Amino acid sequence: MSELEGGLESGAVSVGHMLEPHDDPSMTFGQRVKQFGPSAAVLVGLLLLWEFAALFLSIPAYILPAPSAIIATLIKKWSSTLQSATWVTLTEVLIGFVLALIAGIGIAVILHAWAHVRRAVYPLLIGSQTIPIIVIGPILAIIFGYNIVPKVILVALICFFPIVVTTIDGLASVDPQLKRMMKTLYGTPWSTFKRVEFPAALPSMFSGIRVAATYAAIGAVFGEYAGSSNGLGYVMIQATPQMQTSLVFAAILLLSLISVLLFMLVSVAERILVPWAREGRMQ
Amino acid sequence: MTSEGATAPVDDVTGISVSHVNRSFGSVVALHDVDLHVSRHQRVGIVGPSGCGKSTLLALVSGLDDPNSGDISVLGARTAKERLDRCAWMPQRDLLLPWRTVLANASLPLENKGLSKSAAYEIVTPLFERFGLAGFENRHPYELSGGMRQRVSFLRTLVAGKDVLLLDEPFGALDSITRADVQQWLKSALDEEPRTVLLVTHDVEEAVLLSDEVVVMSPRPGRIVARIPISLNHVESRREAVTQPDFIAARGLVLDALEA
């Protein structure tokens, strides 16, 4: 039965599924290969193509370094530059992301609980997203200096919006029948929030958190571009005029790894906190 | 289990009394001058065409909604809040919380009342045997069949310890075999532990089988057009019941009233 459902699940690939955790502990090795094999094959193929193009079309290394050259730079520059830069950026990303989680969920709950606050604030919140985040970077650098604060704020600002929107949506789309049911079972507004609305909103909330996880690194890099003394964005901005293109690519690779790491953390948290959502989808 | 949540004194005589109740939604008149009197521990089936206001009537009695005019009293409770304390409401969908185990779902009313999880579980666990759910305490609702989920929903409703059960097509989502099963089961559960029951259904046989009296409502605006007392000889099963002459006669009366 569960194999049949698993088969249906993997057969029905949708955009929504792209952002959802695929990792199912009950999957056999064969199913895993079937699930991740095609994208791994495409990735290896592209890397090989890139490698041979760089080798045989004699593209200068400062324009497009070969993947092997990027890895070599990554190893060579790890202890001198990249290690500390990765650590700095990772710290900015994680602190900013946690701040976005707290602020995003907190604000969403407040806006959900008080309709008049929501009417006053929600349109402004959406409007605020029309300000390009990239222009805020220099302003924050002026206010807070070249330290970690502006980067953390940028990460939080960029992550916070999808979390707020999906949390509010999740809270608002709770089945009204469930709330009526709670009323007839001695439910107070607080117990209804705690036992029905919040858990019901979790799957929607996590879809926003997953999107936010993929944005977080961008915020840190913008912040570092605007003014910094270390971090992967700083490395990139220093390496570019020096034509150290392979170093730029090495930094990009590390940034991607930070994003993947954050995304995986969120997926693991989701599997622990929202186990029923997977089962619900399978039904 | 007693209804500790109730504040107003329980009026043993009246049960549920609905008098001259009107309810409109915008320009749509859902209920027009509805009168309904149900004694305590009586079971009343409500049948009528779709959209005749059956569910609206239940919502009004339960205290989830208030009428535009008219009076409703549930065991002496008149305000919506007091009625909510007296009435348990169960709709067609089981409305179980997918993130809670079956045991935690059934314990929900006790937890809402302020009992700790462990205290609530201690009270609810022994009831699983009686409801044919023993061994499923720690499963999640999606692991259960439709009939079992509906029984969990009943268990939760009964755990609330309210005197009045408002059942809004509680078997509507079940297939006919499961349905007959759960009906039979509910009948014996109610014989064991009597409650005042309003049962909304579009299944005439179900109404006749489970009720002491069947009330027939007219198409919108909903009014009560007939009241048919039911007294069936005691039989063991639904199969047996539906072949009895008194059952057939009662069903005929209800169908006549529906078509009139």
pLDDT for position A93: 94
Decide if B113 and A199 are in contact by the 8 Å CB cutoff: no
pLDDT at A283 exceeding the cut of 70: no
- Minimum mean pLDDT range among A21-35, A201-215, B158-172: A21-35
pLDDT at B118 exceeding the cut of 70: yes
Question: Strand pairing of B213-217 and B224-229?
Answer: antiparallel
pLDDT at A6 exceeding the cut of 50: no
A2 vs B: CB within 8 A? no
- For B78-117, what is each residue's pLDDT tens digit? 888 888 888 888 888 889 999 999 999 999 999 999 999 8
> Given pLDDT bands bounded at 50, 70 and 90, which one contains residue B10?
low
pLDDT for position A37: 85
pLDDT for position A279: 59
Q: Which two tokens stand for residue B161?
A: 């310890």
Interval A212-224 mean pLDDT: 91
Decide if B95 and A178 are in contact by the 8 Å CB cutoff: yes
Decide if B89 and A180 are in contact by the 8 Å CB cutoff: yes
B-proximal residues of A, 216-245, CB under 8 Å? none
* Residue of higher predicted confidence among A260 and B182: A260
Residue B147 lies inside a defined structural domain of this protein: no
> Given pLDDT bands bounded at 50, 70 and 90, which one contains residue A24?
low
Average pLDDT score over chain B: 83
- Of B95, B112, B156, nearest to A187 by CB-CB distance is B112
- Judge if A123 and A179 occupy the same domain: yes
Decide if A181 and B89 are in contact by the 8 Å CB cutoff: yes
Decide if B111 and A283 are in contact by the 8 Å CB cutoff: no
pLDDT at B184 exceeding the cut of 50: yes
pLDDT at B11 exceeding the cut of 60: no
What's the gap in Å between the CA of A195 and the closest CA on chain B? Answer: 9
Residue A56 lies inside a defined structural domain of this protein: no
For residue A226, give Cα distances in angstroms to A105, A150, A233.
28, 9, 9
> Given pLDDT bands bounded at 50, 70 and 90, which one contains residue B121?
very high
- Judge if A114 and A207 occupy the same domain: yes
Chain B CB contacts of A274 under 8 Å are 99
pLDDT for position A11: 35
8 A C-beta contact, residue B208 and residue B250: yes
A26 vs B: CB within 8 A? no
- Judge if A10 and A108 occupy the same domain: no
What's the gap in Å between the CA of A96 and the closest CA on chain B? Answer: 30
- Judge if A144 and A13 occupy the same domain: no
Decide if A180 and B64 are in contact by the 8 Å CB cutoff: yes
pLDDT at A9 exceeding the cut of 70: no
- Minimum mean pLDDT range among A141-150, A226-235, B192-201, B226-235: B226-235
Q: B89: burial class by Cβ within 10 Å (0-12, 13-18, 19+)?
A: buried
In which domain, by residue range, is A163 found? 67-276
Q: How many structural domains compose chain A?
A: 2
- Judge if A237 and A121 occupy the same domain: yes
Average pLDDT score over chain A: 85
Residue B117 lies inside a defined structural domain of this protein: no
For residue B36, give Cα distances in angstroms to B118, B166, B188, B206, B212.
41, 14, 25, 20, 14
pLDDT for position B4: 42
Decide if A177 and B91 are in contact by the 8 Å CB cutoff: yes
Decide if A274 and B87 are in contact by the 8 Å CB cutoff: no
CATH of the domain at B229: 3.40.50.300
Interval A209-216 mean pLDDT: 93
- Judge if A28 and A71 occupy the same domain: no
* Residue of higher predicted confidence among B192 and A204: A204
- Judge if A10 and A97 occupy the same domain: no
- Of B88, B93, B142, nearest to A184 by CB-CB distance is B88
A205 vs B: CB within 8 A? no
Decide if B142 and A279 are in contact by the 8 Å CB cutoff: yes
Chain A CB contacts of B84 under 8 Å are 183-184
pLDDT for position B183: 83
Q: In percent, how much of chain A has pLDDT > 70?
A: 88
- Judge if A137 and A26 occupy the same domain: no
pLDDT at A2 exceeding the cut of 70: no
pLDDT for position A26: 60
Chain B CB contacts of A276 under 8 Å are 98-99, 140, 142
Residue B123 lies inside a defined structural domain of this protein: no
- For B17-34, what is each residue's pLDDT tens digit? 888 888 888 888 888 888
- Judge if A191 and A219 occupy the same domain: yes
Interval B118-123 mean pLDDT: 90
pLDDT at B9 exceeding the cut of 60: no
CATH of the domain at A146: 1.10.3720.10
What's the gap in Å between the CA of A111 and the closest CA on chain B? Answer: 24
Q: How many structural domains compose chain B?
A: 1
pLDDT for position B180: 81
- Judge if A71 and A100 occupy the same domain: yes
Interval A260-265 mean pLDDT: 94
- Judge if A262 and A205 occupy the same domain: yes
pLDDT at A10 exceeding the cut of 60: no
> Given pLDDT bands bounded at 50, 70 and 90, which one contains residue B208?
confident
Residue B3 lies inside a defined structural domain of this protein: no
Interval B230-258 mean pLDDT: 79
pLDDT for position A27: 66
Interval B36-60 mean pLDDT: 86
What's the gap in Å between the CA of A186 and the closest CA on chain B? Answer: 6
Please tell me whether the interface predicted TM-score (ipTM) of this complex is above 0.90. Answer: no
In which domain, by residue range, is B47 found? 16-92+163-259
- For A60-119, what is each residue's pLDDT tens digit? 888 888 888 899 989 998 988 899 999 999 999 999 999 999 999 999 999 999 988 989
Question: Strand pairing of B164-168 and B43-47?
Answer: unpaired
Decide if B160 and A195 are in contact by the 8 Å CB cutoff: no
* Residue of higher predicted confidence among B47 and A19: B47
8 A C-beta contact, residue B88 and residue B110: no
Q: Which of A255, A215, A265, A259 is nearest to A85 (CA)?
A: A255
pLDDT for position A155: 93
Q: For the whole model, what pTM was predicted?
A: 0.79
A29 vs B: CB within 8 A? no
Between chain A and chain B, the number of residue pairs with CB atoms below 8 A apart is 62
Decide if A181 and B87 are in contact by the 8 Å CB cutoff: no
> Given pLDDT bands bounded at 50, 70 and 90, which one contains residue A213?
very high
pLDDT for position B146: 83
Residue B186 lies inside a defined structural domain of this protein: yes
pLDDT for position A7: 34
* Best residue in A2, A186, A271, A272 for a mutation probing chain B (most B CBs within 10 Å): A186
- Judge if A23 and A87 occupy the same domain: no
